[in-house]
Amino acid sequence: MDSQAFKSLISKLHPLERAVLPALKKEQELSAIVQASGLQEIEVMRALQWLENKALLKIFTEKKKMVFLDNNGQKYKAEGLPERKLLLVLNEEFREAQSAFNQANIKEEEKNICIGTLKKKAALLISKEGNKLLLKITPQGKNLLKKEFLEEIFLKKNFPLELETIKDEDKFALDELKQRKNFIKIEEEKKLTIQLTEDGKKLLSVNLEGEVLNRLTKDLLKSGKWKNKQFRAYDVEINVPKIYRGKKHFDNEALEYIKKIWLEMGFREMNGNYVQSAFWDLDALFVPQDHPAREMQDTFYLPGKAKLPPLWEKIKEIHENGGKTGSRGWGYKFSKEEAEKILLRTHTTVLSARTLQGLKRDDLPAKFFAVGKVFRNEALDWKHLFEFYQVEGIVVDPKANLKHLKGYLTEFYQKMGFEKVRMRPGHFPYTEPSLEVEVFHPLKKEWIELGGAGIFRPEVVQPLLGFDCPVLAWGQGMGRIIVDYWKIQDIRELYKNDLKQLREIKTWLK
């Protein structure tokens, strides 16, 4: 470092750095530096890190595990182990255990550990006489009384001990004592040592005494005292903590963008409750009452019973014989009790059904969309959630056809970043024809299915709208649409609210 750069460096030193540097002439270990500088440990650490950033020193961290005596360990080190006390009052004749415990002053919580430990050492025989427990010492126990237990030898050591320095003959005692409550605790300690660089050593010869101010205050300006003060130079190149601005959850950003697309295409938004009746969620959409999706394993049912609108009788007729739609229906007896069940909506298509029921001929043509949560009784894993957002839409227009449906969805997905969109035949209970919508993934180089679409069947439209009219409809899973933008492999990451992820994830800028 040349002399000019060195002078510049000195002018930028913080008061904490100036206070710590003299201590580094003699001390290298953190606790000694703290004591020598008279600063708090956190202030010393801060100063050392700043000096390391300036390449004036290097900080070395040594981690080691230390063995400490906990509360009971300290107690028995002073008083002696209870198993030795018990062994001392036993003899070669069986005697009542409680009497021995009382004589040895063994507490209730110590009884089991005494018996267990002495049995392991083959120092104790146990017998029973009715409900009484009897104890006596063995010849091995007598031999043990002549010398110290391994645990007693271990307890005499000066704690704390470095775990790695404990010899093999002591490891048995350590393992035994670790099994006892509040006896041994093992904690990791960090030891910091400092090594000055050549520039750091050179700085020690500089006189850093004297007051150096960090900021210019209005009092200094008004009094004129600033003229005789030494100020610390600003270091515009120093690393500063990154400040994270407040922002919306990235999932909400995607939601708003999707809503913006449909609004710009002339659609109106539909809203509704999460809790619906089976009638609106399933029956009104011509889903048969024996459909597998209505079982508990696919649907979250809630306690209670819904009040059905008068429309339910028309829906009943449609299910049983097709009514006046020209359909034969499903050909079974419709259950009002099944329709009255309450559930968490399984799709946002329930909003389309309710919207259709409120429209008149004068309202047409009309276009609606919804972006809302739906609930499925799914096993939670990397690609399945039990609650997720669905993108729903309907177009009610006497002149609408399948080409229009393809046009709307193609435009939507292209604005979502997928250039190639295709549709293939599918099947849904409430649409005919039905389509599966797929997009071509530019990185994976494969077609990915993202949702279903089609034209509502007359069995859905006529009872809800009051007359037959083409109704284009679609329901797309939002999670599958957006996870690739953030390179998320596990769909659960959309909602885990990890603070680091929320701060660092890129903004939705489609």
Q: Calculate mean pLDDT across residues 86-109.
A: 88
CA distance 459 to 334: 15
What does the block give as tokens for 310?
């008068």
Q: Calculate mean pLDDT across residues 49-54.
A: 88
CA distance 231 to 242: 26
Residue 285, pLDDT score: 93
- Of the candidate ranges 75-84, 314-323, 396-405, the one whose mean pLDDT is the lowest: 75-84
Radius of gyration, CA atoms only, the chain: 39
CA distance 180 to 78: 17
DSSP letter string, 438-487: EEEETTTTEEEEEEEEEEE-HHHHHHHHSS---EEEEEEEHHHHHGGGGT
Q: Calculate mean pLDDT across residues 104-128.
A: 88
**pLDDT > 60? residue 510:** no
Q: Calculate mean pLDDT across residues 446-469.
A: 91
In the block, residue with structure tokens 């999706």: 293
DSSP letter string, 381-426: BTTB-SEEEEEEEEEE-TT--HHHHHHHHHHHHHHTT---EEEEEE
Best-predicted range by mean pLDDT (13-22, 47-56, 144-153, 452-461) = 452-461
Residue 508, pLDDT score: 73
Helix (H, G, I), strand (E, B) or coil at 328: coil
Multiple choice CATH, 3-64+190-210, 1.25.40.10, 1.10.10.10, 3.20.20.70, 3.30.1640.10: 1.10.10.10
CA distance 403 to 416: 20
Residue 400, pLDDT score: 94
Residues 417-426: contacts with CB within 8 Å, 24+ apart? Answer: 417/485, 417/510, 418/442, 422/447, 423/453, 426/452, 426/454
Say what the pTM is.
0.56
Q: Calculate mean pLDDT across residues 253-260.
A: 90
CA distance 299 to 399: 36
Residue 175, pLDDT score: 86
What does the block give as tokens for 394?
């309907």
CATH class of 69-187: mainly alpha
Residue 459, pLDDT score: 93
Q: Does residue 447 contact residue 422 with C-beta atoms inside 8 Å?
A: yes
What letter would DSSP give residue 276? E
CA distance 42 to 415: 52
Q: Structural domain boundaries of the chain?
A: 3-64+190-210, 69-187, 252-504
Q: pLDDT grade, residue 298 (50/70/90)?
A: confident
In terms of pLDDT, which residue wins out, 444 or 365?
365
Q: Calculate mean pLDDT across residues 310-329.
A: 92
Q: Calculate mean pLDDT across residues 1-13.
A: 76
pLDDT more than 90, % of the chain: 32
**pLDDT > 80? residue 122:** yes
**pLDDT > 90? residue 176:** no
pLDDT more than 70, % of the chain: 98
**pLDDT > 90? residue 104:** no
Q: What is the pLDDT of residues 190-211, one digit of tens each?
A: 888 889 888 888 888 887 777 7
**pLDDT > 70? residue 509:** no
Q: What is the 3-state secondary structure (H, E, C) of 79-93?
A: HCCHHHHHHHHCCCC
Q: pLDDT grade, residue 110 (50/70/90)?
A: confident
Residues 6+ apart with CB under 8 A from 289: 282, 283, 319, 330, 332, 334, 335, 338, 339
Q: Which of 293, 301, 323 minimizes the C-alpha distance to 462? A: 323
Q: Which of 44, 49, 8 minimizes the C-alpha distance to 23? A: 44
**pLDDT > 80? residue 473:** yes
Kindly report the average pLDDT of the chain as a whole number: 87
CA distance 124 to 103: 17
Residue 431, pLDDT score: 92
Does domain 252-504 match CATH 3.30.930.10?
Answer: yes
- Of the candidate ranges 146-160, 376-390, 445-459, the one whose mean pLDDT is the lowest: 376-390
**pLDDT > 90? residue 359:** yes
**pLDDT > 80? residue 355:** yes
The CA-atom distances, in angstroms, between 252 and each of 64, 373, 383, 478 are 46, 12, 20, 11
Same CATH topology for 69-187 and 252-504: the answer is no
Residue 311, pLDDT score: 93
Q: pLDDT grade, residue 471 (50/70/90)?
A: very high
In terms of pLDDT, which residue wins out, 311 or 18?
311
Residue 406, pLDDT score: 94
Q: Calculate mean pLDDT across residues 277-291.
A: 92
Q: Calculate mean pLDDT across residues 167-176.
A: 85
Q: Which of 377, 381, 373, 400 minimizes the C-alpha distance to 475? A: 373
